[in-house]
Amino acid sequence: MKIRRGKTLLDDPALTKSTAFSREERDRYGLRGLLPYDIADINKQKMRVLGSMRCKNSDIEKYIFLSALLERNQRLFYRTMIDHIEEIMPLVYTPTVGEACKEFAHIFRKPQGLYITPEDRGNIVSLFGNWPETDVRIIVITDGERILGLGDLGANGMGIPIGKIALYIACAGINPAQCMPVMLDVGTNNLSLRDDPLYLGYPFPRLTGDAYRSLVDEFVNAVQSCYPKALIQFEDFLTPNAFEFLDRYGKEVRCFNDDIQGTAAVTLAGVYTSGQITHKKFSDLTIMFLGTGSAASGIADLMVSAFCKIGLSEEQAKARLWFVDSKGLVVSGRKDIKPRIRPFAHDYPACSFLDAVSAIKPDVLIGATGVAGTFDENIIRKMTEFNEHPVIIALSNPTSHTECTAEEAYRWSGGRAVFASGSPFQAVKYGDKVFKPAQGNNAYIFPGIGLGMQASAARLVSPAMFLAAAEVLASTVLPEEINVGAIYPPLTRIREVSHAIAVAVCRVALSEGLAENDLPDDLPAFVRALMYEPGYE
């Protein structure tokens, strides 16, 4: 391979050290005169990055700044993100990524990722040939139809795969050269986007039906041909498509759906951990969901597996899970029930959300609606009437769409709620106590799944891997964290969590006969050695 020199080397985001090149390196690579005199190591560069970033007046400006940093110096970006994960992850992903997706075409600077449109039908393999790397191991793909709680954002949804890839790298140490964000740009039904002169996507109504499915088929088959070791993560697809593709490909290729399975695992982990505050056994819990989309149904399915693992029958497990939608309690007498929810529709009188909470008395309330304020004061106060510590998990994001805020949950429950959310919230002081609620972020799950799949080369992603991931995540929360109301560990330990989940995934892959790699006895050391650690050494 030709050694890069001079300006070409300085402009390569994967290879540049910028002002950190030594005197000897400056002579060797033709850099003398192209850099200022001072040799600034990566720590001094981080100081400059943080100072510049913190001067920005808004989160979207910080997002743009960080995106530009990634485009010019990959190792500095990831070193800064890892070392300041609590500050930077909300800027790179939730909640700022929601605003970034809405404004994607207007803040566009430099292309990232791979775009596939209907005009590429029959040529996706050759399209992959344009990608600069050949050993791709992680692919995150979206079609932009259901971005967070924001709906159809078309090609603007590319911000999601780009952000998820950043989390794979920062949170689990996947090598950047092995990652590919993909936008399946099949059009948009969002007329405001199609009318926007700056919109960058395929400016036609969405492709549907067999034409749409066949394009997805071609993509999946092309991945098997070009990148046979790659794991495909489906992200932010409309619920029916999300389940269809999971059913269609999940038993054939390495793939999973983060909205269904990642959300399920992180939520289950939070419910497990909440028992250390409520002092209730998981086997005794009654759980109610507000929302019947992919996230809620995925959580319910994994919870059934969790209940069955500890001895309940499937029928007993489903009896502990209840659903509410915009029309009220989902009961067996209704005719408009989604197929995935029907097994959880019980023989019970129809009633409103508040009446359902009052009558069924759930221990845990989980929101996955995408609608702000649906956990109102009446709901939280009602939950507090029969729970010493009601568990309130408001998953919807971005922050503007969350079912309730942390401050509302603590205030309306008199400081008794166990609260977690899909979006980050600051610490809340109620009375004499300061609560530090943790974010139920899928970043605790999917990076570790990806690392474990890479380590084991498992043929498939099995449901047991997500159950194991939930158990591992719950086990990592420390007593001092639980004492301030956190049911997840701090983001500062997320690489440690991802490592532990990856080891658990390897063990599941071995036990289920899925591992294609010969794995050593010392799995933790083997997995640790795979993790990318950005630096200039």
> 444-530: which CATH topology?
Rossmann fold (3.40.50)
Cβ-based neighbours of 386, under 8 Å, separated by 6 or more: 361
Per-residue pLDDT of the chain (537 residues; tens, 9 = 90+): 468 999 999 999 999 999 999 999 999 999 999 999 999 999 999 999 999 999 999 999 999 999 999 999 999 999 999 999 999 999 999 889 999 999 999 999 999 999 999 999 999 999 999 999 999 999 999 999 999 888 999 999 999 999 999 999 999 999 999 999 999 999 999 999 999 999 999 999 999 999 999 999 999 999 999 999 999 999 999 999 999 999 999 999 999 999 999 999 999 999 999 999 999 999 999 999 999 998 999 999 999 999 999 999 999 999 999 999 999 999 999 988 999 999 999 999 999 999 999 999 999 999 999 889 999 999 999 999 999 999 999 998 878 889 999 999 999 999 999 999 988 899 999 999 999 998 999 999 999 999 999 999 999 999 999 999 999 999 999 999 999 999 999 999 999 999 999 999 999 999 999 999 999 999 999 999 999 999 997
Catalytic residue among 29, 93, 272, 488: 93
Q: Supply the pLDDT for residue 398.
A: 77
Angle at 297 between CA 146 and CA 151, to 5 degrees: 10
Task: Identify whether 63 is a catalytic site residue.
Answer: no
Q: Supply the pLDDT for residue 1.
A: 47
Task: Name the pTM for this structure.
Answer: 0.95
List the CATH code of the domain at 6-74: 1.20.1370.30
Other C-beta atoms lying within 10 Å of the C-beta of residue 189:
14
List the CATH code of the domain at 263-441: 3.40.50.720
Q: Please check whether the two domains, 6-74 and 444-530, share a CATH topology.
A: no
Catalytic residue among 164, 280, 318, 382: 164
Q: At the fourth CATH level, which superfamily is domain 91-253?
A: Malic enzyme, N-terminal domain (3.40.50.10380)
Cβ-based neighbours of 299, under 8 Å, separated by 6 or more: 263, 264, 267, 268, 289, 366, 368
156 phi, psi to nearest 5 deg: -60, -20
In this structure, the chain runs to a length of: 537
Burial call 276-293: b when 16+ CB within 10 Å, e when fewer: ebbebebeebebbbbbbb
Q: Supply the pLDDT for residue 368.
A: 92
Q: Supply the pLDDT for residue 399.
A: 82
Q: Supply the pLDDT for residue 397.
A: 80
The three-state secondary structure class of 402 is coil
> Would you list the domain boundaries of the chain?
6-74, 91-253, 263-441, 444-530
C-alpha span between 435 and 432 (Å, rounded) = 10
331 phi, psi to nearest 5 deg: -120, 160
C-alpha span between 535 and 537 (Å, rounded) = 6
Task: Identify whether 17 is a catalytic site residue.
Answer: no
Q: Supply the pLDDT for residue 401.
A: 87
Place of tokens 């079609």: 143
